[in-house]
Amino acid sequence: MSVTRRSLAALALAALVSTPTLAQDKPIKVGVTAGPHAEIFEVVKKVAEKDGLKIQIVEFSDYIQPNAALNAGDLDANSYQHLPYLEAQVKDRGYKITHIGYTVNFPMGVYSKKVKDLAALPNGARVGIPNDPTNGGRGLLVLESAGLIKLKKDVGLKATPLDVVDNPKKVRIVELDAAQLPRALDELDAAAINTNYAIPAGLSPTKDAIATEGAKAPYVNIIAVRTQDKDRPDLLKLVKAYQSAEVKAFVEQKFQKAIVTSW
């Protein structure tokens, strides 16, 4: 082989060898919703950097877009949803997404600016719940556990307002985007609000909620990835960084039991 051909072969080999290194230099793009999920991931990012992992946090203002972006390949992972929500999205939209690790639990609460107890709601009160299928059902279950309504037997998380079989106060269920519910409290009599939206709105789940989700309703949040990427070493390292002592300590100190770790 001539010197020139040997040089070209060496350059080609070097290019092949260096390609994986270049790929690892790209940050992992992780989608989160604004508020607690984003705050927690800032800590995860710092922990991951100690392990040589770069993370780019991408914030979203709703529950729909993070899964759409992940499925389209615009994200490497997302961290904002519980497993029943992901399962519903996969079923309804055909996403090839799976979960690779558990994160935190945000017990849902019911809030009101007009009454201090659900029993004090007037007849015909307007009560808001999230308008997505799983969180809407979750909100209805909280209202049922508080004695405000009764649902069809065994309907579970799939409950909709059509499944209400007993409504003594004839409350009107108002379905709104989950992110809009805190801002709608001035117009509503009460609302079941996800904790990751309640906290940024200045609502304390431990002080302001007039009803809360029971301990037997652990809708644990997850880290989701495309199914084809579930064994990627860098994404498994991401889970390890999340499930670290540093992140656990931050959640416990920052959120004071309003959010609990699930590992």
Tell me: do 117 and 207 sit in the same domain.
yes
Structural domain range at position 69 = 3-106+219-261
Tell me: do 151 and 96 sit in the same domain.
no
Structure tokens at 90: 């996969």
Tell me: do 9 and 96 sit in the same domain.
yes
| pLDDT score at 256 | 85
How confident is the model over 197-242, as pLDDT tens digits?
A: 999 999 998 899 999 886 555 588 999 999 999 999 999 999 999 9
| pLDDT score at 95 | 98
CATH of the domain at 16: 3.40.190.10
Tell me: do 28 and 119 sit in the same domain.
no
Which of residues 212, 232, 250 is at a domain's end? 212
Tell me: do 196 and 232 sit in the same domain.
no
Tell me: do 115 and 194 sit in the same domain.
yes
The total number of residues written for the chain in this structure: 263
Tell me: do 199 and 124 sit in the same domain.
yes
Tell me: do 29 and 122 sit in the same domain.
no
DSSP letters, the chain, are: --HHHHHHHHHHHHHHHHHHHHHHTSPEEEEEETTHHHHHHHHHHHHHHHTT--EEEEEESSSSHHHHHHHHTS-SEEEEEEHHHHHHHHHHH---EEEEEEEEE---EEE-SS-SSGGGPPTT-EEEEESSHHHHHHHHHHHHHTTS-EE-TT-GGG--GGGEEE-TT-PEEEEE-GGGTGGGGGTSSEEEE-HHHHGGGT--TTTT-SEE--TT---EEEEEEEGGGTT-HHHHHHHHHHTSHHHHHHHHHHHTTSSEE--
Tell me: do 117 and 102 sit in the same domain.
no
In this prediction the pTM is 0.73
Tell me: do 206 and 236 sit in the same domain.
no
| pLDDT score at 109 | 94
Below-50 pLDDT ranges, the chain: 1-5, 7-23
Tell me: do 168 and 122 sit in the same domain.
yes
Tell me: do 174 and 245 sit in the same domain.
no
Count structural domains, the chain: 2
153: buried, middle or exposed (CB in 10 Å: 19+, 13-18, 0-12)? exposed
Nearest to 31 by CA among 56, 51, 54, 48: 56
